[in-house]
Amino acid sequence: MLGKRLNMTRKEKGYTAQQMADQLHITLSNYRKYESGRALPPVDKLVQIADILGVTTDYLLCRDEKTNP
């Protein structure tokens, strides 16, 4: 879920994957792993991603969605 939410939010905010990788000081291939779900970002990078995109970490982690019991 993180990867899909990250990809969707990045595109909504008008960033390319390369721009995100550059701002995070990581390679494009590493950033793409986050969006594809092949890797999870370390906590410090997750916080940085949320700050760049102007959202909360809970939003990126899909913890803000209401679920029906």
Locate the domains of the chain by residue range: 2-60
pLDDT of residue 64: 74
d(CA 31, CA 21): 6
pLDDT of residue 65: 60
pLDDT in tens, 29-42: 999 999 999 999 99
d(CA 63, CA 11): 20
Q: Which amino acid does the sequence have at 50?
A: A
Residue 59 in this model has a pLDDT that exceeds 90: yes
Domain 2-60 CATH class label:
mainly alpha
pLDDT of residue 69: 35
Residue 54 in this model has a pLDDT that exceeds 70: yes
